Amino acid sequence: MMELLSLAIISPLLGGLLIFLIKDRRFSKFISYLSSLISLIAFFVLFLNFEKTGGFQHVISLEWIPAWRVNIEFGLDKFNAPFAILTSLISIVAIHLSLRTAIERVENYLSLILLLQFTVIGFYLSTNLFLFFIFYEAMLPPAFFLIYRWGTGDSYRAAFKFLIYTFAFSIFLFIGIIGVFMAAGSFSFESLKELNLSLQDKTLLYLAFFLAFAVKIPIVPLHGWLRDAYYLSPTPITIFMSAVMGKMGIYGLLRVTPYFSDVLLEIGWAIILLCLISFIYAAFLALNQRDMKLLFSYMSLSHVGIITAGLLSGTLQGLNGSLLQSINHGVLAASFFYLAEIFKRQTKSYDMDRLGALSKRVPVLVFFTFAFVMAMGGFPGLSYFNGEILLLSGIFRHSVILGFLAIIGVAIGVVYLCYFFYRVFLKKPGSDMSLLVRDVRGFEFVIFSVFFIITLYLGLNPSFVIGQVENIFTYYGR
């Protein structure tokens, strides 16, 4: 099993380096599919073969910096395994979509995507804070090259904003990590259990972690990079950012939050309120958008707000809900951005007002879009609803008033999704742009079907991802 895990982690890196060294177009396509497929399958096999309780399993450990008692150590547990699978899955989708859209210098592009995948997986699977931090920062170079080099418009600014925001707030992650090291004398996640700090120091430490991750998620008012970075990036990268990289922040919080439950009792309401404001504010931003990709960007911004809010409620439901919802959101955000790209490819524009009256022309596309809209709108029985009900339960359990605030955001979420569907598919009369739209088929049909099946399956069996809800606190050893 250890070999399998090493394979899963290392194959994107190897693939990326191979492509970088052998600059051949056809070869690079083959290798990129192959390496992320290997990674996906390996993770899937591992996922089926591990207990959703207990600590890190299938641990790989290599001695690295003995002076700091830091090893290169990767392991799977309940929290990071779903994220790892999600990352591999989304990489395949992103790679495929990239190959569909004509992209110059595709070899470099693919190798960077694979490197990005490697760093993100490394981030998710690392079992100590130092490695976690390294991968958190190492993710930046591939990401900014991808945004800058292959983005549209003023991608220079977009890439720089993304970089500076993330990098700037990594100060706080640094401080958090050093703080843990100071208090516990070790970088491992285990050491979070034995923090001998006063409540005040703990609060500061937690706030440092929160700030660092909040910019990655992002939470308003730290979302300044999001619009440009999401909008101007090539869509496969947008998919990757929104589905996987935004989740890095959530995952980080998921790792540290349970150890700070006494802090959350003190200041929890304030940061939950902030997240919910982010949730609602972004929903309002989305409400006015006529541009599909911007709409989805803001939608993504909005939804991560409630995921974080639920997480910060520090309750059983909230933590499980945020884990589940991160996966659901990853899958659905990817499908929405994919949809936007389909429209862009065929009509050369993201403008929703120039579409309409599509419902009879492209039945398969309508079916999938409708399914995804319903899922994202929180239709009960589909995957998103389960996450939503857990998150809301968590928030309500923390505070009823905050819960009602969250509900308002949820409702606005439904409104803009309905507007989107109405404007693109139902509105009459349609414009002549609509005539350019073709139905999905081939590999795209397969991808959408996979997303749809995941949505359905997780709608009925969320415990596939989160295991038993009750287990989470036994896991944390309290």
Here the contacts of 374-380 (C-beta below 8 Å, separation 24 or greater) are 375/328, 375/332, 375/455, 375/459, 376/299, 376/303, 376/332, 376/336, 376/413, 376/417, 377/413, 377/414, 377/417, 377/418, 378/410, 378/413, 378/414
Residue bearing tokens 């070899």: 107
Query: What are the backbone dihedrals phi and psi of residue 288, each rounded to the nearest 5 degrees, phi first?
Result: -95, 0
Rank residues 342 and 417 by Cβ distance to other proteins and give the closer one: 417
Closest approach of other proteins to the CB of residue 41, in Å: 27
Nearer to other proteins, 330 or 413 (CB): 413
CA–CA distance, 389 with 407 (Å, rounded to integer): 11
What is d(CA 124, CA 22) in angstroms, rounded to the nearest whole number?
Answer: 29
Between residues 243 and 323, which has the closer beta carbon with respect to other proteins? 323
Query: What amino acid occupies position 67?
Result: A
Give 222 or 342: the residue with its C-beta nearer to other proteins. 222
Q: Count CA within 13 A, CB hemisphere, residue 409.
A: 31
Q: Which is nearer to other proteins, 336 or 419 (CB)?
A: 419
Q: Which residues bind other proteins (CB under 8 A)?
A: 63-68, 104, 134-135, 137-138, 140-141, 144-145, 148-149, 156, 159-160, 163-164, 167-168, 170-171, 174-175, 178, 181-182, 317, 374, 377-381, 386, 388-390, 392-393, 396-397, 400, 403-404, 407-408, 410-411, 414-415, 418, 422, 426, 428, 459-463, 468-470
Dist CA 220 CA 215 (whole Å): 8
- For residues 356 and 424, is the Cβ–Cβ distance under 8 A? yes
Taking the complex as a whole, how short is the minimal distance between the CB of residue 293 and other proteins, in angstroms? 22
Instruction: Indicate the angle between helix axes 261-287 and 400-421, nearest 10 degrees.
Output: 30
Closest CB 280 distance from other proteins, rounded Å: 13
Residue with Cβ nearer other proteins (182 or 199): 182
**Closest to 212 measured CA to CA, from 244, 250, 239, 182:** 250
DSSP line for 159-215: HHHHHHHHHHHHHHHHHHHHHHHHHHSS-BGGGGGG----HHHHHHHHHHHHHHHHH
Q: Which residues, 6+ apart, have CB-to-CB distance to 85 below 8 Å? A: 40, 43, 44, 47
**At closest approach, how far in Å is the CB of 1 from other proteins?**
25
Find the shortest distance in angstroms from Cβ 130 to other proteins: 8
Least Å from the CB of residue 413 to other proteins: 8
Please report how close the Cβ of residue 338 comes to other proteins at its closest, in angstroms. 23
Closest to other proteins by CB, 57 vs 98, is 98
* In contact, 211 and 240? CB cutoff 8 Å: no
Least distance CB 228 / other proteins (angstroms)? 15
- Smallest distance, Å, CB 301 to other proteins? 19
CB closer to other proteins out of 3 and 470: 470
Nearer to other proteins, 7 or 407 (CB): 407
Shortest Cβ 377–other proteins spacing (Å): 8
Of the pair 246, 378, the CB lying nearest other proteins is at 378
Rounded Cα distance between 51 and 45, Å, is: 13
Q: Give the position of tokens 């919080």.
A: 253
Please count the other Cβ atoms lying within 10 Å of the Cβ belonging to residue 8. 26
Residue among 234 and 378 whose Cβ is closer to other proteins: 378
Report DSSP letters for 91-132, one per residue. HHHHHHHHHHS--TTHHHHHHHHHHHHHHHHHHHHB-BHHHH
Nearer to other proteins, 93 or 362 (CB): 362
Question: φ and ψ at 58, to 5 degrees?
Answer: 55, 40
Our measurement of the distance from residue 249's CA atom to the centroid of its chain's CA atoms, rounded to an integer in Å, reads 8
CB of 390 to other proteins, least distance (A): 7
What's the min distance (Å) between Cβ of 107 and other proteins?
A: 11
